[in-house]
Structures are given as structure tokens and as C-alpha cells.
């Protein structure tokens, strides 16, 4: 009986997967069909969009009755001291999160969150970014670092907290901060560039398989997966890697001028306490302690830009998860 029960359960799971697959195919087919009828150009004024961001944040930040009483008392104290206009307020900390994958997919949300902050931030406000990333592609993490640079360029103080890891592209982002805090055993550094690919040329040659690659431009393709690689191609590829590494080091030196870049730009990584001694970070601690400290004198505001996946994408993720469980 146990065998039949297991078999029935297997059939039920298989039927569920098949139905989900059919649903995904139907939705994808319908989205392609009639595309000319349903697609349209959506036009909207971006300044209105940013104004909506500002109003939304200010609605949430409207002080409670208790907070208003406290601010009025502070205002009276300021007037008695003869300073200020009597309108006391607490500075704010905007708390952001960045959980990085190899493509830095979270940059799409980060850019919106930074734009929202810049619409409302005042001179004494601060952004705290809880960063976790082991790095990834150069263009993606370069864009993420550029989003953080927008804050500094607009005079908004930026603090980055590393509780677990900020390596390679993750540290490229962290270096932009005015202040970096890392947990004692967080992984920090890995200032280097890596690229690797297999070469199947000898395998194809052994089986009499020809592979042709035609390019216009001497260095359009330096190394190939299927073709025969040359010493000249390898040298050029290495030159390109060194150029990217050089830009990485220039970036670090720009934002952390007191750091001995030659000492730390070896591709190695260090734990938080070691990174503090080397100057890669400014303090050792956790994001929890930092935010608790800020909460004593500032208002903490967490911002999260949520992106809604299309229905077809969500169904495909469900199907992928079901297939994974079945294989397990």
C-alpha cells in the first residue's frame, strides 16, 4: 500500500507541474497574440512622479501627537536660548537595503529609492545602507556605485553597514560611503577582477568538428570557448582585465584617499576587524547597534521600492520551484 500511495503522490505532483506549465504557455501565447491591439505608449511627466514620491514620504513622516508635543517643547527651549525659528524637528535616517546577486539586480530598486531620498532629504539627514554582496558583473555594480555617488554629490551623508559580506563589486559600492561599518567577522575587500571560460577546441578537433568565428576588428573577440585561442588573444584579454582593475583602484582611491590602495588591491579579502586596521572600513560593529544609536536622536525611516513581477514570470518561478522539489 505504501508503494501505491507514493506512486499516487508522484502522479499528483506531476499533474500539478503539467497544469502549471500549460498555464504558463497559455499566458505567454496570449501576451504575444494581439500585441498590436493592447500595447500603447505610456507618457507621464517625471516631475509629477517625483513629487508623488515626496508627498508619500512626507505623509508617513508626519509627526505623531506625542512627537509634536516634544518638538514644541524643544522649540520653546530654542526660543528661550534666542536661537532658531522655534520650529524644532528631528533629523532623519533613511534606511535602505541592498542584497546583491551577480547581476546586481537590486540596482533597479536602489535607483528609485535614491531618487525618493533626494526629493526629500535635508542637510542634516542621513542614509544608512545595509549592504550585502559578494560582487558580480562590472557594469552592474558600477551602476550601483554610481547611484550611491548621487547621494554624496547632493550633500547627503551616506553610511554603509556590512553585516556579512561586501566583496569585489560589493566593496566598490561600499567605498562610496562617507562612513563604513563592518561586523567583526564580515568579509570585506576582494579588490580585484576575475574572468574565466572553458575552451573546447581540442575536444571538437578530436571529433572532427570545425568551428568558425568571423570578426571585423582585430580584438573583437580575444578568447573563444570553441575556437583555438592564441597568445596574442590571451595577452589582450589580460590587458583588458588589468585596465578594469586599474579603474577599480582609482575608484577606491578617490573615495578613500587615506587608504593604501596598493596594499589592499590584491584580490584578497579580510574580516571586519582586520579591515578596520587596514583602513578598508571606519568602524567595527553591526547595523543593529548603529541604528539603535541613531534612534536616540534621529527619526529612522525605512524605504523599500517594491517591483511587481508579471503574472507569467511569477508562474514560471512557481513551476521552477516545483521542478526543483520533484528532482530532490
Active site residues: 168, 220
Which residues have C-beta within 8 Å of that of residue 17, sequence separation ≥ 6?
Answer: 319, 322, 323, 326
Grid-cell match 554582496, residue found: 133
CB 121 within 8 A of CB 153: no
Q: Which residues pair with 94 in a beta bridge?
A: 127, 301
Q: How far is CA 216 from the centre of its chain?
A: 36
Instruction: Say if residues 215 and 223 touch (Cβ distance below 8 Å).
Output: no
Question: 187-189 and 269-271: which strand pairing?
Answer: antiparallel
DSSP 105-122: TTHHHHHHHHHHHHHH--
Instruction: In whole angstroms, give the CA distance from residue 246 to residue 235.
Output: 16
Q: CA-to-CA distance for 9 and 292, rounded, in angstroms?
A: 50
Q: How many CA atoms lie less than 13 Å away from 59 in the CB half-sphere?
A: 6
Classify each residue of 234-272 as buried b or exposed e, where b means 16 or more C-beta atoms within 10 Å of its C-beta.
Answer: eebbeeeeeeebeebbebbbebbeebebeebbeeebbbb
187 forms beta bridges with: 165, 271
For β-strands 157-167 and 179-182, DSSP reports them as parallel
Residue positions counted in the chain: 328
Helix (H, G, I), strand (E, B) or coil at 246: helix
Q: Please name the residues in contact with 180: beta carbons below 8 A apart, sequence gap of 6 or more.
A: 159, 160, 162, 174, 280, 281, 282, 283
Amino acid at each position: 500500500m505504501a508503494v501505491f500511495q507514493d506512486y499516487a503522490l508522484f502522479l499528483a505532483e506531476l499533474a500539478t507541474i503539467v497544469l502549471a506549465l500549460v498555464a504558463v504557455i497559455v499566458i505567454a501565447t496570449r501576451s504575444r497574440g494581439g500585441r498590436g491591439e493592447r500595447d500603447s505608449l505610456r507618457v507621464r511627466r517625471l516631475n509629477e512622479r517625483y513629487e508623488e514620491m515626496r508627498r508619500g514620504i512626507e505623509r508617513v513622516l508626519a509627526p505623531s501627537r506625542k512627537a509634536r508635543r516634544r518638538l514644541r517643547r524643544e522649540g520653546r527651549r530654542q526660543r528661550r536660548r534666542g536661537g532658531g525659528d522655534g520650529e524644532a524637528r528631528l533629523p532623519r535616517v533613511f534606511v535602505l537595503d541592498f542584497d546583491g546577486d551577480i547581476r546586481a539586480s537590486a540596482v533597479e530598486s536602489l535607483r528609485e529609492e535614491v531618487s525618493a531620498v533626494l526629493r526629500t532629504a535635508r542637510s542634516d539627514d542621513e542614509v544608512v545602507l545595509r549592504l550585502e554582496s559578494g560582487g558580480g558583473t562590472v557594469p552592474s555594480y558600477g551602476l550601483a556605485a554610481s547611484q550611491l555617488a548621487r547621494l554624496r554629490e547632493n550633500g547627503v551623508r551616506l553610511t554603509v553597514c556590512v553585516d556579512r559580506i561586501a566583496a569585489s563589486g560589493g566593496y566598490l559600492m561600499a567605498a562610496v560611503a562617507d562612513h563604513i561599518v563592518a561586523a567583526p567577522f564580515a568579509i570585506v575587500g576582494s579588490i580585484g577582477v576575475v574572468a574565466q571560460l572553458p575552451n573546447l577546441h581540442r575536444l571538437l578537433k578530436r571529433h572532427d568538428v570545425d568551428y568558425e568565428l568571423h570578426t571585423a576588428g582585430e580584438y573583437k573577440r580575444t578568447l573563444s570557448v570553441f575556437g583555438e585561442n592564441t597568445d596574442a588573444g590571451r595577452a589582450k584579454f589580460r590587458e583588458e582585465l588589468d585596465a578594469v582593475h586599474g579603474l577599480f583602484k582609482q575608484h577606491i582611491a578617490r573615495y578613500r584617499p587615506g587608504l593604501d590602495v596598493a596594499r589592499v588591491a590584491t584580490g584578497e579579502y579580510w574580516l571586519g576587524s582586520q579591515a578596520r586596521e587596514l583602513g578598508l572600513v571606519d568602524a567595527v560593529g553591526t547595523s543593529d547597534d548603529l541604528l539603535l544609536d541613531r534612534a536616540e536622536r534621529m527619526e529612522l525611516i525605512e524605504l523599500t521600492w517594491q517591483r511587481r513581477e508579471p503574472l507569467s514570470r511569477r508562474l514560471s518561478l512557481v513551476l521552477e520551484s516545483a521542478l526543483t522539489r520533484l528532482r530532490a
